[in-house]
């Protein structure tokens, strides 16, 4: 018996003649998820089931309240259940299956490139490690973008070529859309009728099958990869996708495998169809950050769900749910997520997480929000990204918080031009809320961050402010927090 979890819809190494899939309603009720996320998972699982059956696999597809109930109904004890090692919490899965008397045998998981054993072998004996050293290790091991043992082009990264803002009138090719078929339409209806959700269910167009996902990969590598790099950090009011791959929901379901995705991108570089800075930036996301986050979470998940290094305990303000604010950046991005279940990584980090960070919101409330809101979100990816990188509630992922005033958003977006607030002002009722919150955040967290050498420049700017100016900043920050709390910002 091969157990297929809902986010393990992979092609390899499935060889069994019979399979078990369990669809649970308890999972879907854990949060008020985005309806497109639930639709995606249910529809992709059901398509996968149908495809397996067409290939002659005997699939038992169980609807149950919980996994435990599903296992009880489908397993009679004594059998060996083979299952791909999950991204995290493998012991909990083993326990749930073995309660029935069955035995679990974990096999490799092609959804990831680096196995836990490989990661542990690399990490052993290291006194702390960071993404960059891990990424270089994976490049060397795989040979991706390597030439005679050296990085392609002579550098490990080309970030300095990837921070441009597109020229006026810049247009990007429209990525393919995957309109719902009968199975997906049924899932849309079911989610609408049976679950409490947050977000719009109309307009579902995500890949739900391998065929769809491969078409999306083709489109990205053929039409958008070349210009992905230069504008990967740009945030545009009228263009949510820019040249982003939009492949994360398929990768995280297991429909696409990281090696094939990266190999296609490298191929595009070798054939002269995509520039090196774009390809390297994309490869880094897939074999660097994605793999690294998975392993950091796998190793430190218990701590990550508890930690709150900066003692941030304010409730997440209502704007994350209702998008009602005059802050153009926050309003645009929350509305975008509410409509589609997607926004790109810089909008996630430098608008949504940055605001929660400088506001002082509880990192675990923010983590829950990301998990329910994004179609590509699973605990193994959101928790290290949100609790670690976005909120700096632990130093497991980054060495400093990604806190910024409005100036970063002004530089990398077209949001500020149409905003009711003035990005050049810090105090006063028209001042950009990010500015006072940013300085107040530094001031509030002096004990935790003041000695961090990577923050020394920021603190040297803070030290130049006299007490009168700081008092005005604190007052404005307090007013911003009050208005945000009351939904009046
Ligand atoms: Fe956001 Fe401030 Fe710019 Fe308005 S002025 S869009 S609040 S960064």
- Residues paired with residue 59 on neighbouring β-strands, in sequence order: 19
Residue 158 is part of a domain; what is its CATH number?
1.25.40.80
Ligand 1 atom with least separation from CA of 423:
5
Tokens read off for 198:
């947050």
Whether 327 and 454 map to the same domain: the answer is yes
Distance between Cα 415 and ligand 1 center (Å)? 6
Our CA dihedral for 208, 383, 402, 391, rounded to 10 degrees, sits at: 140
CA triple 203-208-214, angle to 5 deg: 115
CA dihedral 81, 84, 88, 94 (to 10 degrees): 10
Count of structural domains, the chain: 3
Residues whose CB falls within 8 Å of the CB of residue 396, separated by 6 or more in sequence, listed in order: 296, 300, 303, 304, 384, 388
Q: Is 432 in the pocket of ligand 1 (CB under 6 A)?
A: yes
Cα distances (angstroms) measured from residue 134 to each of 321, 336, 393, 461: 36, 33, 22, 33
d(CA 444, CA 447) in angstroms, rounded, equals 8
Pocket residue to mutate for ligand 1, from 335, 359, 421, 436, most atoms within 8 A of Cβ: 421
> Of 238, 270, 299, which residue sits at a domain end?
299
Among residues 378, 377, 397, which one has the least CA distance to residue 387? 397
Domain that holds residue 216: 116-172+206-299
Dihedral angle, C-alpha 347, 37, 322, 401, nearest 10 °: -30
CA nearest ligand 1 atom 6, residue: 416
Q: For ligand 1, atom 8, which residue shows the shortest CA distance?
A: 406
Place of tokens 């899932």: 187
Per-residue pLDDT 10s for the chain (489 aa) are 899 999 999 986 567 688 999 999 998 999 999 999 999 999 999 999 999 999 889 999 999 999 999 999 999 878 899 999 998 889 999 999 999 999 999 999 999 999 999 999 999 988 777 899 999 999 999 999 999 999 999 999 999 999 999 998 899 999 999 999 999 999 999 999 999 999 999 999 999 999 999 999 999 999 999 999 999 999 999 999 999 999 999 999 999 999 999 999 999 999 999 999 999 999 999 999 999 999 999 999 899 999 999 999 999 999 999 999 999 999 999 999 999 999 999 999 999 999 999 999 999 999 999 999 999 999 999 999 999 999 999 988 888 999 999 999 999 999 999 899 999 999 999 999 999 999 999 999 999 999 999 999 999 999 999 999 999 999 999 999 999 999 999
Q: Based on the domain organization, do 35 and 166 belong to the same domain?
A: no
CA distance 168 to 190: 43
Question: Alpha carbon of 4 to those of 21, 48, 84, 106: distances in Å?
Answer: 5, 10, 8, 12
> pLDDT digits over 119-176, tens only?
999 999 887 778 999 999 999 999 999 999 999 999 999 999 999 999 988 999 999 9
Residues 82 and 146 in one domain: no
β partners of residue 55: none
Domain stops at, among 246, 269, 299: 299
| Nearest atom within ligand 1 for CA of residue 351 | 1
Q: CA-to-CA distance for 401 and 112, rounded, in angstroms?
A: 27
């Amino acid at each position: 018996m091969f157990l297929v979890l809902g986010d393990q819809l992979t092609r390899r190494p499935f060889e069994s003649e019979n399979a078990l899939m369990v669809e649970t309603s308890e999972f879907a009720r854990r949060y008020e998820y985005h309806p497109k996320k639930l639709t995606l998972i249910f529809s992709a699982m059901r398509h996968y089931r149908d495809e397996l059956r067409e290939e002659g696999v005997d699939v038992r597809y169980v609807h149950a309240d919980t996994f435990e109930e599903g296992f009880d109904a489908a397993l009679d004890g004594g059998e060996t259940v083979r299952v791909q090692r999950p991204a995290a919490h493998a012991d909990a899965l083993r326990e749930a299956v073995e309660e029935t008397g069955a035995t679990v045998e974990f096999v490799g998981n092609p959804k990831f490139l680096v196995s836990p054993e490989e990661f542990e072998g690399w990490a052993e004996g290291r006194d702390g490690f960071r993404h960059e050293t891990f990424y270089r290790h994976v490049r060397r091991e795989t040979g991706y973008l390597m030439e005679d043992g050296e990085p392609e082009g002579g550098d490990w990264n080309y970030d300095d070529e990837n921070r441009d803002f597109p020229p006026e009138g810049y247009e990007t090719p429209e990525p393919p859309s995957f309109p719902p078929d009968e199975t997906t339409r049924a899932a849309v209806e079911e989610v609408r009728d049976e679950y409490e959700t947050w977000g719009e269910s109309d307009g579902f167009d995500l890949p739900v099958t391998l065929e769809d996902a491969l078409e999306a990969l083709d489109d990205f590598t053929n039409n958008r990869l070349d210009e992905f790099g230069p504008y990967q950090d740009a945030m545009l009011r009228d263009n949510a996708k820019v040249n982003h791959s939009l492949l994360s929901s398929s990768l995280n379901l297991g429909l696409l495998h990281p090696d094939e995705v990266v190999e296609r991108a490298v191929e595009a570089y070798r054939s002269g169809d995509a520039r090196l800075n774009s390809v390297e930036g994309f490869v880094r996301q897939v074999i660097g950050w994605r793999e690294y986050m998975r392993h950091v979470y796998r190793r430190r998940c218990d701590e990550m769900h508890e930690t709150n290094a900066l003692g941030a305990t304010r409730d997440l303000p209502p704007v994350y749910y209702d998008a009602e604010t005059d802050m153009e950046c926050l309003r645009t991005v929350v509305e975008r997520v509410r409509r589609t279940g997607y926004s790109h990584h810089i909008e996630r980090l430098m608008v949504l997480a940055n605001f929660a960070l400088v506001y002082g919101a509880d990192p675990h409330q923010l983590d829950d929000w990301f998990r329910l809101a994004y179609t590509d979100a699973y605990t193994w990816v959101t928790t290290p990204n949100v609790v670690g990188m976005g909120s700096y509630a632990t130093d497991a992922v980054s060495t400093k918080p990604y806190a910024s005033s409005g100036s970063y958003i002004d530089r990398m977006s077209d949001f500020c031009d149409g905003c009711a607030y003035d990005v050049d002002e810090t105090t006063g009722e028209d001042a950009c809320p990010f500015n006072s919150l940013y300085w107040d955040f530094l001031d509030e967290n002096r004990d935790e961050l003041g000695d961090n050498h990577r923050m020394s420049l920021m603190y040297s700017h803070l030290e130049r402010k006299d007490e009168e100016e700081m008092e005005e900043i604190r007052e404005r920050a307090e007013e911003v927090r009050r208005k945000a709390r009351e939904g009046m910002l």
